[in-house]
Every structure is written in C-alpha cells, then in structure tokens.
C-alpha cells in the first residue's frame, strides 16, 4: 500500500544517522524530536518537538527558527537549557500552518505541554506522530502512525504495570518526600499531591521549582527543601532531605530508596489500546 509518506533517517555532522526520524511526503520534509541538520544537508520544513525531555532533542531543535512546539514546551526548554527558543509556538489543541500543510496538535498527557502532531498528505493519507503518550483519548484516527514503544515488549514483565496511586496517597499521608525528575514527573507529583487534598507547603529544589511555577499556575505554596513538609526533589537531591521517609517515583527496582510506581508512559496494554483507538493502516 502506497501511503504517500516515507520515514527517513538524516545523517548528522559525523555522517551517522541522526536521532529519531523525519517524514518525507509530497514536497515536504518534517523532522520529529531530532537534532538540527548540518547546514550542508537538506533542511526540513519544520522541527516538530513533542515535549521537552532531553531524549527528544529539543535542546538542539529549539535553536532553529523552523522549530515548532507548544508554549509550555518552549518555556520548559528555555528553563532547562538556559537558551532562548527561536521557533514558533502554539497552544495545545490548536492547528498551525507549516507552508501549505495544516498541522493539528493533540494533548498526550506525558508532560505539561506534550503533544502529538497530525496532518494529511496530498493523497489524503492521515499521518499521526505521537511522541511519548500517557493519555491517548484525544488522538485522532490515522493511516500512518509513528509512536513510542518504551514499554512495547509483551514478554518483559516491566512493560505491564499500573500506577500505584494508593501507595502514593499512603506515603503522602505519612509525610513522605518524593524523588522525581525535574520536568514532567515533578509536576505530576505536585498535581497528585494537590489533587489528594494536601494544601500545605511543598519543598522543591531550584530547577523543579522553576519549572513548576512556570508551568502550573495557582498550584499552591512552595518553599525550598525543608524537613517539616512534603518535598518533591530530583533524585540526586533526595539525600538532602532529612529523615528516612523518602520514595522514588519510578518503576525501576535498582534504587537505594523505596519506590512507588508512578509513570508518565502507557504500559504495553495501554499502547495496544492506543493503536486500536487510532486504527492505522
């Protein structure tokens, strides 16, 4: 079946394949979650950035005027890397024009501001590029799907899981502090803490606090890390929190702290449900 679109791997300045991929369709080339092309190479029409995690290469793409990201993703990139975002921004759920192509955006729930992108080719093929996904409910049906597969192995027990919200609530009630990556997981932790009724101060390290204040308006009082409150800090700052009532928010089991499974991804079962939902060809 000829869908009128082709995934391609660009070469970087060392002559090796660039991370992630680009999609060639009609007379266009969109690069997704990848580093910038060397000047001597064919330049894409756009660098689509699904979210601001480092393994999606926004640190590089954000420096291009061809970058396209949500307002929240652009702000998170600026805070994380201390650089000015040079591309275009949009509000999650808006459509944008890239040349003569209308590109729609869809929330994925992976981080604040994370999106999937969708568009149609000249022959009517519906292309959907998701990035990482936690909630597939807003994704449209498609013919051509490019998605994550972080937990796509049905034979790996680590790919089958549920978030331990009950365990998180019990730890919160006990006055625990939590280790979480500064972007994404930390904001999820704050949302859960507030959603579970905690209205007191939350202690945070400087990077987590800067991102949370920028991305979560009216999310309650915050302070620097302190002993007598619930703290949400990066894993490498968890040792600065006094006491032993501390948990890492992760599915990993090779940690020196107790862990609670809180994931910002779908597990294998969720990925299969997502594929059924978007129904690619």
Distance in angstroms (rounded) separating the CA atoms of residues 64 and 135: 29
Q: Which is nearest to 183 in space by CA: 55, 84, 85?
A: 55
Confidence at 279, pLDDT banded by 50, 70, 90: very high
133 plus 241 within the same structural domain: no
* pLDDT bucket at 255, cuts 50 / 70 / 90: confident
How many Å apart are CA 91 and CA 190, to the nearest integer?
22
> pLDDT value at position 254?
74
> How much is the pLDDT for 16?
82
Could you tell me the pTM of the whole model?
0.94
Domain range for 231: 162-260
Q: How many CB atoms lie within 10 A of CB 238?
A: 22
Q: Are residues 14 and 141 in the same domain?
A: yes
Whether residue 242 has pLDDT greater than 90 = no
Separation CA 137–CA 7 (nearest Å): 25
3-state secondary structure of 238: helix
What's the structural domain count of the chain? 2
- List, in sequence order, the alpha helices (H) in the chain: 58-61, 71-81, 165-173, 185-195, 206-215, 268-278
Average pLDDT value for residue range 274-281: 96
User: In the predicted model, what is the mean pLDDT of residues 46-53?
Assistant: 97
**For residue 1, pLDDT beyond 70:** no
User: CATH code at 94?
Assistant: 3.60.15.10
pLDDT at 226: 81
Q: What is the pLDDT of residues 130-177, one digit of tens each?
A: 999 999 999 999 999 999 888 999 999 999 999 999 999 999 999 999
Residue 39 and residue 116 in one domain: yes
- CATH no. for residue 186? 3.40.50
Residues 140 and 240 in one domain: no
Same structural domain, 38 and 138:
yes
Share the mean pLDDT of the chain: 93
Beta strands in 39-163, from DSSP E residues, in sequence order: 46-48, 67-70, 88-90, 95-98, 101-107, 115-120, 126-129, 144-146
Q: By the 8 A CB rule, do 148 and 130 touch?
A: yes
Cβ(108)–Cβ(114) below 8 Å: yes
- Residue 227 confidence (pLDDT) above 80: no
- Residue 26 pLDDT exceeds 90: yes
Q: What is the DSSP track for 115-128?
A: EEEEEE-TT--EEE
In this predicted structure, the answer to whether residue 190 has a pLDDT above a threshold of 90 is yes
For a pLDDT cut of 70, what percent of the chain falls above it? 100
What's phi and psi for 216, nearest 5 deg?
-130, 90
pLDDT at 183: 97
Specify which of 87-101, 211-225, 250-264 reaches the highest per-range mean pLDDT: 87-101
Longest Cα–Cα distance of the chain, Å, equals: 62
* 173 and 122 within one domain: no
Q: What are phi and psi of 190, to 5 degrees?
A: -60, -45
């Amino acid at each position: 079946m000829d869908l009128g679109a082709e995934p391609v791997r660009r070469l970087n300045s060392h002559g090796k394949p660039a991370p992630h991929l680009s999609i060639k369709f009609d007379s266009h080339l969109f690069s997704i979650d990848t580093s910038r092309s060397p000047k001597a190479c064919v330049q894409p029409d756009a660098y689509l950035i699904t979210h601001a995690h480092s393994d999606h290469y926004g640190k590089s793409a954000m420096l291009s005027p061809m970058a396209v990201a949500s307002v929240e993703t652009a702000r998170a990139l600026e805070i994380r890397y201390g650089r000015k975002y040079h591309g275009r921004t949009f509000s999650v759920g808006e459509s944008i024009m890239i040349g003569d192509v209308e590109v729609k955006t869809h929330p994925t729930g992976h981080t604040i501001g994370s999106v999937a992108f969708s568009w149609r080719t000249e022959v009517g093929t519906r292309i959907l590029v998701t990035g990482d996904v936690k909630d597939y409910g807003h994704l449209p049906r498609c013919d051509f799907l490019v998605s994550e597969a972080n937990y796509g192995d049905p034979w790996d027990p680590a790919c089958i899981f549920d978030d331990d919200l009950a365990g998180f609530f019990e730890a919160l009630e006990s006055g625990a502090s939590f280790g979480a990556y500064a972007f994404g997981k930390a904001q999820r932790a704050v949302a859960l803490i507030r959603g579970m009724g905690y209205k007191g101060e939350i202690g945070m390290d400087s990077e987590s606090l800067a991102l949370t204040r920028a991305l979560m308006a009216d999310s309650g009082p915050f302070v620097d890390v302190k002993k007598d409150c619930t703290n949400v800090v990066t894993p490498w700052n968890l040792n600065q929190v006094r006491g032993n009532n501390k948990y890492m928010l992760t599915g990993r089991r090779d940690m020196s702290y107790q862990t609670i499974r809180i994931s910002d991804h779908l597990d294998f079962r969720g990925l299969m449900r997502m594929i059924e939902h978007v129904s690619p060809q």
